[in-house]
Chains A and B, each alone.
Chain A
Amino acid sequence: MLLDVLLGVLAAAMAVVIWRLVTGPTDADRVVAVDLAFVIFVAGTALLAVRLRAPSALILVLAATLVGFLATVALAHLLERRQP
């Protein structure tokens, strides 16, 4: 029951992230939004693994952690290197 409410909270946070991705005034805002999106995805995966009693799904947490870090750094470098 508590986990369902918390997953709803994470879904609301993800809606905020999507709104910022669509309307963000600059591309720097979008990079920050993608950073928070992967954080929410990691937390949601961990909560789902507990909620569904499927501990094997916890390996997705590890994969999403690494993918999120690489995505943030790659997007930041793309933003830096882009010619105006």
Chain B
Amino acid sequence: MSKSLEVVLPTENGLHARPATKFVEMASRFSSDICISKDGTSVSGKSVIEILTLAAEYGSKLLISAEGEDEEEAVEALVKLVEKSFQE
């Protein structure tokens, strides 16, 4: 069982250091395994370096998936974070 949602990246400079850090900070609060995928490449949503290597630019379609006990809340919260351009 797992949950996935797609979201479009609205940040001007893409998923660089600052937003990646914010993403990881939130993802680490959940117990589920979290993944972000872009164009078929999938990385751990809890690893800031791996997220950077995705080099996701403004407008890219990201698939956020989670598997575990709190997978529903995890995906919803993270998608919301992205949609709000990582302003918490």
Chains A and B belong together in one complex: no
Q: B: which residues have CB within 8 A of A?
A: none
